[in-house]
Amino acid sequence: MHSLNNLIIEFYDKLSSWEQSVVKDTGYSLAQVHTIEVLGSHGPMRMKELADRLGITTGTLTVQVEKLVQFGLIVRTPHEVDRRSIMVELTSEGTALHKQHNRMHLQLTEDITRHLDPESIKVLTQSFEKMNREF
């Protein structure tokens, strides 16, 4: 258990460094790419929900979103029924960036699991499912 704990921490640190270096190559900041990632994997959503998912305040997000709109990566549209709310979604460019980033992630996953046999991959997948459920 103790060694598994250390392995998880090491895994997290390495994934962190990897993400940092991959993001740097895009020319956008970590916070910006993270915003694109969330919108890309969960679809359009309100400012409030996006802020909650990113773990930041809406005040911070307002500024962040402003920049991404200027970059042409996202657009703001009024919420259909709630006029207080604003929906945020990816443009085609934003979607392209998300897809590109996703491909990098997929490639990394393939790279780091290449010495695992099919049975281990199966157990690993099931274990991640169970662990994610327990957070």
Partner DNA sequence: TTTATTAGTTTGATTGTCAAATTATCTTGA
Partner DNA sequence: TCAAGATAATTTGACAATCAAACTAATAAA
Residues in region 33-62 near a second copy by CB under 8 A: 41, 55
Angstrom CA distances, 117 to 11, 103, 123, stand at 19, 22, 10
Residue 86's region, left for phi above 0, alpha for psi from -120 to 50, else beta, is: beta
Q: Does residue 3 bind a second copy (CB under 8 A)?
A: yes
Q: Does residue 104 bind DNA (CB under 7 A)?
A: no
Q: Which is nearer to DNA, 84 or 114 (CB)?
A: 84
Q: How far apart are CA 69 and CA 47, in angstroms?
A: 13
Can you tell me whether residue 81 is helix, strand or coil?
A: coil
Residues in region 65-94 near a second copy by CB under 8 A: none
Residue 132 corresponds to which tokens in the numbers above? 């994610």
Residues in region 106-125 near a second copy by CB under 8 A: 106, 109-116, 120-121, 123-125
Q: Does residue 63 bind DNA (CB under 7 A)?
A: yes
Q: What is the largest CA-CA distance in the chain?
A: 53
> Which value, in Å, is the radius of gyration of the alpha carbons in the chain?
18
The correct pick among 46, 53, 104, 108 for binding DNA (CB under 7 A) is 46
Binding site for a second copy (CB under 8 A): 1-12, 14-18, 20, 41, 55, 105-106, 109-116, 120-121, 123-132, 134-135
Binding site for DNA (CB under 7 A): 29-32, 46-49, 51, 54-67, 76, 79, 81-86
